[in-house]
Amino acid sequence: MASVVDDRGHDVELAEVFADVARALTEEHDVEHTLDRICVLAVKTIDGCEAAGISIASGPHITSLSTSDPLPRILDDIQSETQEGPCVDAIKEHEVFLTGSLSQETRWPDFSRRAHEQTGVDSILSLRLFVSENTMGALNLYSTQADAFDDQDIAMGSVFAAHAAVALGHARREAQLEDKAATRDVIGMAKGIIMARQEVSDDEAFAILRRASQRMNVKIRELADRVVHPRPDEQQGPGSAGTGLES
């Protein structure tokens, strides 16, 4: 990255970097490749950054979605095992966490000791990924140098984190839409089967599904799927008794 001469030069440089990042990311056509590219560009763009990873919390586990190399996965595994670390805190506490001397860090004693001994990393910058108030994960930057990251690096890292959050948010919305469409389709097929077997209307078929769902404490989507794809012990002829449906 070019040297910053003054505030105006700093702003121009950042604007050029952000434009370059945006152009590069438009070339990617799926979330996996977009996140991979973000990690690679972060290492390439941010001074002192030797590795980068994007992680999400899944219950007590920290999962590496994308990394620039294997190192972030090692550190995520240690954070999962110790249940502490900058990435854990960035996700849980909605904050930016920075350490420049991991070997001397006291906020996460178990993680810090193991991480430094196993990887030699001394500086970590963890930035939360969020859309509105919903934290989805963190972008983590790593260096074996002490005090490798400063305020400018935090500002630049925040841009990469924002791009990652947008990509993840878009992927989640697409997954939700696909799930809703699949649910609508399978319920429609189940209603058609019930209408044909029990000679009822569309509304009556859905009412049958809803009552059975409540009685059996099973989601309508799951029950509809059982009607469309019955198990061998549920294939009891046109009455659908095996799935618990009653008119």
Domain ranges of the chain: 7-171, 176-243
**Token pair belonging to 171:** 């992927």
Cβ contact 1:12 at 8 Å? no
The residues that bridge with 141 in the sheet, in sequence order, are 52, 125
CATH of domain 176-243: 1.10.10.10
Query: What residue ranges of the chain have pLDDT lower than 50?
Result: 1-8, 237-242
Domain 7-171 = CATH 3.30.450.40: yes
pTM: 0.65
In this prediction, residue 101 carries a pLDDT of: 95
pLDDT at 113: 95
What is the structure's pLDDT at 216?
A: 85
For residues 39 and 48, the answer to whether their CB atoms sit within 8 Å is no
CA–CA separation, 228 and 150 (whole Å): 58
What are the CA-CA distances from residue 67 to residues 14, 38, 142, 157, 198 (Å)?
Answer: 23, 9, 11, 15, 55
Query: What pLDDT does 106 receive?
Result: 95
| Per-residue model confidence (pLDDT) at position 18 | 66
Would you state the structure tokens that stand for residue 38, as one six-digit string?
């973000």
